[in-house]
Amino acid sequence: MSGPSPSSTPSDFDQFYTVTAKRLVAAVYAATGDLAEAEDAVQEAYARAWQRWDRLTAEGDPTPWVRTVALRLAVSSWRRARNRMRAHFRHGPPPDLPDLAPDRVALLHALRGLKPEQRTAVVLHHLLDLPIEQVARETGVSPGAVRTRLSRARKALGSHLADPEADADTEAPKPTPAPAPHPPVCHPKEVPSHG
C-alpha cells in the first residue's frame, strides 16, 4: 500500500483520523446497526484515504469522501452478508454490546427498521448535521429525494419510538372498581353525664 508523497506529513493524516474517526464509526454504526461492521468499513475507508491523501487534501476537506466510502463499504458488505444479518435480526443484538442507554438502544433498533437509503439519509442529516444538499451529493440523489426519504423515515421512526406512557394515556379507560359497601353505622349509647 503506498502512502502520501513527501509533501504530506503523516501527522496531518493522524490528526485528521483522531478528529474524525470516532464520529464516523458512530454514524456508520447507526446506519448499519452492527458495530464490528462499522469499524471494519471505517478502517478500510481511512486506509483508502491514506493512499490518496495528497489528492484528497488538495481538493479540500477529505471528510465527505471518507464518509461516503465508509458508508458504501458498509452497505455492500451488508448486502453480501444478507443472510447473516437476517439471522442477527431474528435473534437480536449480541449480548456484549457496550453499556448503551435504553434510548440509544431503542433508536438503533428503530433505525434498523428503516430502508437502507432512509437510514443513511437520517444518519447524515440528523446525526451528523449535514445540510440536505450535501446529503444529496454524498448519496448521489436529488435534494428532493433526500427530503422524501427523511420525511418517510421520520414518520416511521415516530411511530416506532412513540412514548409507551403516552400510549397508555390513549388507551381505553379502565373500569373503576365498585365502591366498597359502607360499614354499618353504629350509634353510641348515650351516657348520662354526672354532675
Q: How confident is the model at residue 164 (pLDDT cuts 50, 70, 90)?
A: low
Q: What whole-number percentage of the chain has pLDDT above 70?
A: 66
Q: What is the mean pLDDT of residues 87-114?
A: 70
Non-local (6+) Cβ contacts of 152 within 8 A are: 118
Each residue's pLDDT tens digit, 47-88? 999 999 999 999 899 999 999 999 988 877 655 556 565 666
d(CA 52, CA 57): 9
**Mind spelling out the 3-state secondary structure of the chain?**
CCCCCCCCCHHHHHHHHHHHHHHHHHHHHHHHCCHHHHHHHHHHHHHHHHHCHHHHHHCCCCHHHHHHHHHHHHHHHHHHCHHHHHHHHHHCCCCCCCCCCHHHHHHHHHHHCCCHHHHHHHHHHHHCCCCHHHHHHHHCCCHHHHHHHHHHHHHHHHHHCCCHHHHHHHCCCCCCCCCCCCCCCCCCCCCCCCC
Report residue 126 as a C-alpha cell.
440528523
CA 97, distance to chain mean position in Å, is 14
Query: Which band of pLDDT confidence, cut at 50, 70 and 90, is reported for residue 171?
Result: very low
pLDDT at residue 157, rounded to an integer? 87
Q: Tell me what pLDDT residue 85 has.
A: 59
Residues 132, 124: Cα–Cα separation, whole Å: 9
What is the model's pLDDT at position 170?
A: 41
**How do residues 140-154 score in pLDDT, each as one tens digit?**
999 999 999 999 999
Mean pLDDT (the chain) is: 77
Separation of alpha carbons 151 and 142, rounded Å: 14
Digit-coded pLDDT (tens) for 15-47: 999 999 999 999 999 888 888 889 999 999 999
pTM of the model: 0.55
Of 80 and 171, the structure prediction assigns the larger pLDDT to 80
